Structure 1
Amino acid sequence: MTPLTRASLAIAYHAPVKRRFVAAVLIPAVHRLQRVHGVSHVHIGRHWRFGPHLQLIASGPEHGALVAALAAERPAIEAGLKQHGSGYVLNTDGYLETSRQLGAAELIPPPYEPIWPDNTVRPFDTPLEPGLIENPNARDLRDAFNEAMVEPLEHIIAAAERSKSARLQGAFTFMVLLAATYPDRGLLHGSLSYKSHLEDHLQDYDRDGSLRADFESRYRPVSPQFEALTTSLVDDPTEPGYYTGSDPVWQRWGQALRTFWDRALDLAEVRDIEPLLHEGYTDRAADLNDHLRRKYAVGDDREYSEFHAALREVEYTDKEAGRWFASYRFMVNLLYAQMLVIDVSPAERLFLAHAVSEAVDAVTGVNWRQILKPDENAEAAS
């Protein structure tokens, strides 16, 4: 199968809340582009480089057809900006400092400027992307996965207009339903990826424990709702499974996940998706600073959280489990990036990682220490 080519329209939109513009202007554009001959996949991206912006990204076998289809959409998007523009005044100096911090955190090197003017549109023959998905077959899977997320993202945005809690509950639903499909013990073990994401951040940026304490205090009063949502979404949190509830949007998402698992496992089998980070990560990290070099080298010359120290003690020799992990991590990272489209900030994503971890602990009665340190826990119980 010939890998797909890509093109995009980038829309500078400085206002922090973008979901209403997404729903009013970009999602209708996605639906129109999906009907264009020669367009295989369409999705929406959000990023910070060169200023806060969204991208309408199309992929297909013929590059010229993509460029023409996107050019035909540009007038409608520019008209949408006149009606639903951001009207936000960006502090450029402060934003550039934030860009440098985000660049280090996400392994995206300079340049970070010029900052594009608000409410402007520019075409790209090749989409502006972080570039860390190098394999063309993996990029094709990414495009299909992201496109399948458009319908549930639209579903969440609509619900968020009716309920303040719907946006984060929708993102939580995404996270739980994906984790529940993990082939090894379902949600119980799949949720460890979110715990890893949380603990890695806290190890680097929460030395005094204040952020963890904030997450705990914010989660405590809403824990019953998140636990109830978890049990409503997953039949058995200790076995792999897909959504069996009554919501047709999440039913279709569950069916899509079955297909994506099959495709991802096939790619992992031929190492188009790797269980370990490829050299591009370590090379970029080394170029940015020495702390990141040590972090991504994952050697003995760096500090680890208690969670990751325990994880390093586990032996990973099962090749099939390696394929599972590679496939799952690939999809989790795509999910994180797409949650930005509904304005789930990195801080909110970390809170949700905490919420999923705590909810799974509560509904299963099993915590991460019992999974990663079974011998120590057996001794403590005896």
Structure 2
Amino acid sequence: MIMRRYASTDALDESAEESWHSAHVHYHANQDDLLLDAVRPLLAEVRESVPRAYFVRHWRLGPHVRLHFRCTSDRWYDTVRPAVERTIVDYLRANPSMTPVDEGAEIAKHRELARLEREEGELTPFAPDNSLRFRPYEQRLHVLSTVEAAELLAEFHTDATDLVLAILEYARAGGDRRGACLAAMVAVAHTMCPPLTRGFVSFRSHAEGFLANCADPEGTRALFDRQYRRNAAALRHQVRGTLAALAGAAKPRADRAPDELGEFTRRWATLASTYRERALPLIAAGHIGLDGAEEPQAESAAMRTSDFHRRLRASDSWEALRDAEWFRCYRLLLNYLYLQMNRIGISPLERFLLCHLLAEAVEEEFHVRALDVVEAIPSENADDRYHDQGDHRV
């Protein structure tokens, strides 16, 4: 049997090289329990021998979870794949999805998603619900451009997995999923582009870009504004509390219950700081670029229709700031965070809503305006780690 597997020493050497292997679990029902009760123990089971592993949610060919493992071919076929088959099949048999998905009704949305996300591959037919398929790993070099960029993203997914699962458990126990993600947004902005009263400008930009290009700009903005007015006091309070957690003021004492949101916040900040140090050299060397990962039609439409973006691009300091390596790193880490929010179960619409809510809360709580912040940046300092200058109190 071993001789059939290795026909030559070259094949033996190749089998000892690590590569990514993937399994797709097609499950049309809510996937939180699948992730917590099947994927989490599976990752724990193989972690000692395969530390680089993660999951993502995906939509192409029907709602599913993709499991990715980096290991040798031997380890995949002898250890990991059998564990995947055993754990996932047992879960699907005990907890089958009973949620119907109308392929015909979904295909138009999937075509648009494929365009926006530059997704390659067939869109139909959908895979059967409650099915497990082993598929080639998709590195998405047509979007990420370089192997270095693809590997850094995979490593971020891996390192964020325990935190993502902890937030899913928190949500299953009744915690606020959106609130946990809003705290993460504050943490990354305040860590990567401090203080928050500067870093929040990106959230305003993302919200305005979406509102300018969605199917019903006026109606959607009115909906977002109503959401803010109903929750303004709580949102402003959460922003203050998250900043306190980042400052260490919310660490749990022995005489009170653990502050889960505060702990999540500090973990996001630590993760962002770690990957800032890893990403900056790759950005400086030209291994990571952001333009290829952005949807050009949405970008140009935002320039035509969004008053915010027209005024932003009229600022003398904007181009210098946009090209600064530290700011490109901030943008990269925000993109990474948004991908984690998808793993947590936040839809794109919810993400843009959170961007709007957070921008509104910061502007109202700290009496700032996003455009005023940008226009106040001296253009000669934009490329000089502007985030290290000035008063960081908020």
Normalised by the length of structure 2, the TM-score is 0.80
Q: Deviations over 1:187-209 (max 9, x none)?
A: 22222222222111111115551
Residue 181 of structure 1 corresponds to: 191
Residue 350 of structure 1 corresponds to: 352
Over 3 Å counting, the alpha-carbon distance change for 1:67 and 1:361 in structure 2 is farther
Q: Tell me how large the CA RMSD over aligned residues is.
A: 2.9
Over 3 Å counting, the alpha-carbon distance change for 1:207 and 1:248 in structure 2 is closer
2:98 is the alignment partner of 1:97: no
2:311 is the alignment partner of 1:310: yes
3-state secondary structure, aligned to 1:132: helix
Q: CA deviation at 1:305?
A: 0.7
Q: Distance in 2 between matches of 1:134 and 1:69?
A: 32
Over 3 Å counting, the alpha-carbon distance change for 1:206 and 1:33 in structure 2 is same
2:48 is the alignment partner of 1:35: yes
Is the 1:234–1:242 contact (alpha carbons within 8 Å) kept by the matching residues of 2? yes
Is the 2:54–2:157 contact (alpha carbons within 8 Å) kept by the matching residues of 1? yes
Q: Distance in 1 between matches of 2:366 and 2:55?
A: 36
Over 3 Å counting, the alpha-carbon distance change for 1:211 and 1:249 in structure 2 is closer
1:241-252 matches, cutoff 5 A: 245-246=250-251, 247-252=262-267
Residue 263 of structure 1 corresponds to: 278
Residue 388 of structure 2 corresponds to: none
Is the 1:152–1:250 contact (alpha carbons within 8 Å) kept by the matching residues of 2? no
Over 3 Å counting, the alpha-carbon distance change for 1:319 and 1:204 in structure 2 is closer
Query: 1:70 pairs with 67, 80, 105, which one?
Result: 80
Residue 380 of structure 2 corresponds to: none
3-state secondary structure, aligned to 1:181: helix
Q: CA deviation at 1:172?
A: 1.0
Identity %: 23
Residue 57 of structure 1 corresponds to: 68
Residue 325 of structure 1 corresponds to: 327
Over 3 Å counting, the alpha-carbon distance change for 1:220 and 1:320 in structure 2 is closer
2:220 is the alignment partner of 1:219: no
Q: Distance in 2 between matches of 1:4 and 1:321?
A: 35
Over 3 Å counting, the alpha-carbon distance change for 1:359 and 1:9 in structure 2 is same
1:129-148 matches, cutoff 5 A: 131-148=142-159
Normalised by the length of structure 1, the TM-score is 0.82
Q: Distance in 1 between matches of 2:154 and 2:41?
A: 18
Is the 2:97–2:130 contact (alpha carbons within 8 Å) kept by the matching residues of 1? yes
Q: Deviations over 1:22-74 (max 9, x none)?
A: 111112222223221xx3421110111111111111235x3553455431222
Unaligned runs of 5+ in 1: 286-291, 376-382
2:8 is the alignment partner of 1:8: no
Residue 23 of structure 1 corresponds to: 36
Q: Deviations over 1:272-319 (max 9, x none)?
A: 122x503x767xx6xxxxxx3xx45x499x614111112212335658
Q: Distance in 1 between matches of 2:321 and 2:216?
A: 36
Is the 1:11–1:120 contact (alpha carbons within 8 Å) kept by the matching residues of 2? yes
1:167-178 matches, cutoff 5 A: 167-178=177-188
Residue 4 of structure 2 corresponds to: none
3-state secondary structure, aligned to 2:144: coil
Is the 1:242–1:254 contact (alpha carbons within 8 Å) kept by the matching residues of 2? no
Q: Distance in 1 between matches of 2:141 and 2:220?
A: 27
Unaligned runs of 5+ in 2: 1-16, 252-261, 378-394
Residue 366 of structure 1 corresponds to: 368
Residue type of the partner of 1:111?
E
Q: Distance in 2 between matches of 1:91 and 1:320?
A: 42
Residue type of the partner of 1:261?
R
Q: Distance in 2 between matches of 1:312 and 1:63?
A: 50
3-state secondary structure, aligned to 1:180: helix
Computing the radius of gyration over CA atoms, which structure comes out larger, 1 or 2? 2
2:238 is the alignment partner of 1:229: yes
Over 3 Å counting, the alpha-carbon distance change for 1:304 and 1:208 in structure 2 is closer
Q: CA deviation at 1:76?
A: 0.7
Residue type of the partner of 2:105?
G
Number of positions where the alignment pairs a residue of Structure 1 with one of Structure 2: 349
